[in-house]
Amino acid sequence: MKEWEDYKKQIEDNGFAVINDVFSEDEIDMILKGIEDADTSGDTFRKSEDLFAIRQFLKGVPEVRKSVFNKKLTSSIQKIFGNRYFAVKSIYFDKPESSNWYVAYHQDLTISVDRKADFEGFGPWTTKQNQFGVQHPLEVLDNIFTIRIHLDDTDEYNGALKVVPGSHAKGIYRPETINWTTEKEVICKVKKGSVMMMKPLLLHGSNRTTNGKRRRVIHIEFSDLELPGGLQWSEKISG
């Protein structure tokens, strides 16, 4: 019990926690095989020299759901956050060995929904690959948590997340206003088969790959809130 209380406190205080050895080698192989066998011709698949990504991953590659929501992951989520949460957004990222792609510090401020609508506190709106995104009120953001399933060993040399601990508790925090005399940067090294849990308001980014090793990650966001006025999460999926 203390272990799970420690994870809760880490997420509450720092905005993130790492849980080791959530997936076995066989489970990772099954997930990767599902991705490899998927039809990549759809709009939600993006491939370039620097990045292969699948938006609406759990919908686009449904064969992997059983392996993704294994017993240990499901149990971890329930022990830390309770049993009311459901997946609302999922993306698969593959950062190739030779990638020179990096991500500047940012917060995850948008949710994916089924349509555009006029609600107080919701906006601005974006549309990407026929998917509506909207920045939403802080109370919705505060409710969301993200898990990142690591399919490769990840460190500072192949694009591990760098984060500013505690920044999730400071509301909208513009990267250009970071005071590095008081804030610190932490590199989140995560082993293959392990999971990083984080809050979307945590300032995070990643550097270019420099060691010739790829970084494959499944990013899934969860909420237990229903949206106003009949607006629906575009990817609502129960584990």
Contacts of residue 133, defined as CB under 8 A and 6 or more positions apart, other chains included, come to 110, 111, 112, 113, 125, 126, 127
To the nearest 10°, report the CA torsion of 60, 63, 64, 65.
Answer: 90
Domains in the chain (CATH in brackets) are: 10-230 (2.60.120.620)
pLDDT in tens, 81-122: 999 999 999 999 888 776 667 889 999 998 988 888 888 888
Q: Please report, in angstroms and rounded to a whole number, the separation of the first and last CA atoms in the chain.
A: 23
Place of tokens 């250009």: 176
pTM confidence score: 0.92
Query: pLDDT digit string (tens) for 162-219?
Result: 999 999 999 999 999 999 999 999 999 999 999 999 999 999 999 888 888 889 999 9
User: Would you say the C-alpha torsion 146, 152, 13, 201 has a positive or negative sign?
Assistant: negative
